Structure formats: C-alpha cells, structure tokens
Amino acid sequence: MITVTSAAGGVGRLLVRQLAARDVPVRAVVKNDRQAATTRQDGATEVVVGDLRSPGTLDTALTGADVLYHAAPTQIIDERPIIEHLIASGPANGLQHIVFHSVIHPHLHQLTHHHQKDIAEGLLRDSGIPTTVLRPSHYMQNYLEVWEFLQAGVMPYPVSPDSVMGVVDLADVAEAAAKILIDPSPHTGRTYDLSTVELTRHEMAQIWSRVLGHPVTAIRIPPSSLTNSLDVLPALASVVGHAVRSTKLRAAGHLVRGAQAASNPRDMKNWPADARQAYRTMMTHYDGHGLPAGDLTTLPALLGHAPTTYEDFARRSSAEFGRKSIDSGR
C-alpha cells in the first residue's frame, strides 16, 4: 500500500492517477468529503479524511502502508511536528520508505517555506528511515491561475517579468514520483532536483502568444498585493490597456472573470495570517532574485525521456481549458 498525503493537490491528484493506472493500491489523505469524492474518482483505493497536523490522521494514514509520499499544503507553515510524528510512528505502523516532497533550493532560509523544507529534510535524513527527497522547481501550472487574463492577452503575476524562474510540469513530477514509489529501494538516500528549463515571464508570454494566436504581455503585479489588494491598483491601467490592444472587445469578459479569480488566488484569504505573509515574502524574493533551476539532467534521467517543454505544456493546457470553456457554454 502506498499512502499519498495532500492527494487532492496539484501533484497529489496526478500521482494518484499514475499509481491507479498501474494497479497500485493507493491510500489518499485529503482534508474534507468533497476532496474524498474527487480522489476516489482519481482511483484511490482507500481514503483518509482529516488534518495532517492531527496525530490520529497520520496514524490512520500510515497503518499498513509500505511507502509514503508526503507533501504538505503551502498554508501549513510549521511542518516539523508532522515530520516528527511520521518518524516516531511510521516504522511501528510498517512504513518502510518515505518520499518527501520538498522544494528547490531549500537553503534559502530567508524564505519560511524553503527553510521549513530544509528542516524537514534534515529530520528525515537523521531518522534512519529510508528516504528519497524530491525538490521540484516552480510549477508551470502556477501561471494557469491567470488563465482568463491570458485569454485577454496579458500575463499578470506578482513576480517581475525579467526574473529568471526554473519551472517544471506537475505531470512530470507525478510521473517521476510514481516510478520512485513503485520501486523505492534504488532511490534510498537520494535527493533529486526536478527542473526542466529556466525562463523569464517575458519568454513565457512569447510562448503563450504563439499558442493562443494573439499577443500576450507579461505584467508585474506588486507582491504586496497578495496581502493588500489595493496595491494592485497602479498596475490595472497597464493590464487593461495591453488587453484591449491585444484582443479588442473580447478582452472585457476575460478581464472580468480574471479579476474574479484573482480576488482570492489559491483560497489565500482562508489561509492563516502567517502563511499569507510567508507566501508574500517568497514572491517578493522571486520578484527581485528569481528562482534558478536545479540540476537539469536529473529529471530526464528519472523519467527515461525528455521532460515536457513549456510550449508543450501551454498547448496541452490550452486544449484542456478550451474544452472546459466549451463544456461550460462560455
């Protein structure tokens, strides 16, 4: 049995599907009944509904599991108690291997999220439990949060368009993770960077322009707007102006829907205050310094083939979202 935490998340859903397609029993850990229904549709054999910060939830998730894929939601700031409980109770429950979902460059201790992952890596390394660490780069899918804006011809994001970001496709992360989970022994003690390519958002916008068939302009939104929505106002004129020049009258509907989606990205308004502040600090750092890729040779070796390019990702996403728009009558 393989247990997957955060099974309703971006990587988690794809990972459950990957394992189910290989007829591997999967126990999915999710936080509510709505997510439970989703993960069952994805192919989960068993479902545990609860809070990862609850020892009872963790014990239920671990009982009888041979391998654990652990990824904590971004809004959980202090991951240490979770890791300590996994270490304390995992072996007694039969756990033989942990695959830990970390982050690229965990040494960036000025960023709470990165620092917490570094602490967790150290605890697991010292525990004696066979462990594999995956360090994915910034997800290509993060920019689908502005899908409606892309349709209007703009790509607003709280990071400078000139910042260089290492990116990776979630589908490739899930595929690599599935291969490791199914046969973890050769990967014991290994740490893998999962990075595909480095791009600025200007370069991403050029790719979206080719894919969507209209000009797309990357625009910086102040990272401070993540915790103070009024800070976005100075950028609005640029967003609207570029959209109207790109897609004319078609821009209006997309801008309205994009603004609605942007009013609460990732459900951040329901995050604890410290999580919102940590996310803003992280975006502020990326805004000024970017986030370089890790070792670009690792992911192809794990996959056994070339990883997804950004243009392939954009074309696949455009086809998928286009179908959803048709189905919804938009």
Q: Scanning the structure block, which residue is given the tokens 């695959």?
A: 99
CA-closest candidate to residue 176, choices 34, 308, 299, 316: 299
Q: In this structure, what are the phi and psi dihedrals at residue 195, rounded to the nearest 5 degrees?
A: -135, 145
Angle value at C-alpha 279, between 144 and 238, nearest 5 degrees: 55
Q: Which domains does the chain have, with CATH numbers?
A: 2-137+169-194 (3.40.50.720)
Cα-based distances in Å from 300 to 141, 206, 250: 19, 25, 40
Give the number of C-alpha atoms closer than 13 A to the C-alpha of residue 245, restricted to the C-beta side. Answer: 10
CA-closest candidate to residue 168, choices 108, 119, 103, 226: 103
Tally of CB atoms within 10 A around 327 = 8
Per-residue pLDDT at 236: 87
Joined together, the tokens standing for residue 36 give 């439970």
Joined together, the tokens standing for residue 27 give 């126990």
Q: Buried b vs exposed e over 178-196: b needs ≥16 C-beta within 10 Å?
A: bbbbeebeebeeebbbbbb
Residues 6+ apart with CB under 8 A from 155: 143, 146, 149, 161, 201, 204, 205, 208, 216, 217, 218, 219
Local mean pLDDT, 10-residue blocks, the chain (330 residues): 94 96 96 95 96 93 94 89 93 92 96 94 95 97 93 95 97 97 96 98 97 96 85 86 90 89 79 88 94 97 97 95 50
Per-residue pLDDT at 260: 85
Residues 6+ apart with CB under 8 A from 306: 300
Contact 62, 83 (CB under 8 A): no
Residue 263 DSSP class: T
Per-residue pLDDT at 233: 82
Helix ranges (DSSP H) in 167-232:
170-182, 201-212
Q: In this structure, what are the phi and psi dihedrals at residue 114, rounded to the nearest 5 degrees?
A: -65, -45
Residues 6+ apart with CB under 8 A from 111: 278, 281, 282, 285
